[in-house]
Amino acid sequence: MATGRTHRPATRSRGIPEATVARLPLYLRALTALSERSVPTVSSEELAAAAGVNSAKLRKDFSYLGSYGTRGVGYDVEYLVYQISRELGLTQDWPVVIVGIGNLGAALANYGGFASRGFRVAALIDADPAMAGKQVAGISVQHSDGLEKIISDNGVSIGVITTPPGVAQAVCDRLVAAGVTSILNFAPTVLTVPDGVDVRKVDLSIELQILAFHEQRKAGEEAAANENAVPAPAGRADSTDQGPDGDVPAVMPA
């Protein structure tokens, strides 16, 4: 999982559990694909398979939205697309700003998946004067001096932060002060925000480290299983051959 909600511990919204909310976009994506193939109805079993979840979980998730299925038949695809879209707030347009138009910010700006849902890139903002006026993805980059006015003029409530980590909190503070109440943070920093502001983070490095943990565990188990059979599985990254508990502390605690 690359993301992790910050803050807002268990604010079950209108009875819809947070875990369910996080899966609704998954269902919506699968349903949209079915809709494009003009499939009229779908069973919980089929849809669950397409979304990569358990069918019981899917049914329970949908039960929080209402009784939208027909027993013996399944769910009407178009109807469900509409209901989930409405529940997620995608029937309206959400203007978003991206702050920090470097490698990642530019990639996001160029990403078509934004507009395909109800999101519209309202502005690109960067602190580098050399960037101001440059066209990225057909949008002119604006200098961060005008951040507050841009937020206000466009009624932006969602901000994306792709600046270096050192300035992320400062950028976040300005966004919040200007009226932004939802932030998607790509900088590897813990952001502190007032109550009522939602922060979600995407941290590539954390994802890789979690994968590395499991990878190491798999290698350790494999080694334990093979015990001292063959020397090494040809070129695998276990050269140091430090057992899973090769406890050689670098520094002892005081």
Would you tell me which residues interact with ligand NAD (CB under 6 A)?
Answer: 99-105, 107-108, 110-111, 113, 125-128, 131, 144, 162-165, 167, 171, 186-188, 204
Q: Helices (DSSP H) in the chain: which residue ranges?
A: 18-36, 44-51, 55-65, 77-88, 103-110, 113-116, 147-154, 165-178, 204-226
Q: Which of 26, 1, 12, 45 lies closest to 84 in space, CA to CA?
A: 26
Residue 85 CB, nearest approach to a copy of itself (Å): 9
Nearer to DNA, 20 or 162 (CB): 20
Q: What is the distance in angstroms between the CA of the first residue and the CA of the last residue of the chain?
A: 36
27 interacts with DNA by CB under 7 A: no
Window contacting DNA (CB under 7 A); options: 38-46, 119-127, 194-202, 240-248: 38-46
In the complex, the smallest distance separating the C-beta of residue 7 from ligand NAD, rounded to whole angstroms, is: 20
Amino acid identity at 122: A
Binding-site member from 27, 62, 114, 186 for DNA (CB under 7 A): 62
**Minimum distance, C-beta of residue 109 to ligand NAD, in the bound complex (Å):** 8
Question: Least CB distance from residue 183 to a copy of itself, whole Å?
Answer: 8
Amino acid at 157: S
Contacts of 173 (CB under 8 A, 6+ apart): none
Contact 114, 120 (CB under 8 A): yes
Of the residues 60, 86, 120, 217, which one makes contact with DNA according to CB under 7 A:
60
Q: Encoding tokens for residue 62?
A: 């949908």
**Pick 38 or 103: Cβ nearer ligand NAD:** 103
Is position 82 an interface residue for DNA (rule: CB under 7 A)?
no
**Binding status of residue 35 toward DNA by CB under 7 A:** no
Tokens of 78: 């178009």
Task: Please name the residue that has the structure tokens 């920093």.
Answer: 189
Interacting residue ranges for DNA, rule: CB under 7 A? 9-10, 12, 17-20, 43-45, 53-57, 59-60, 62-63, 67-75, 254
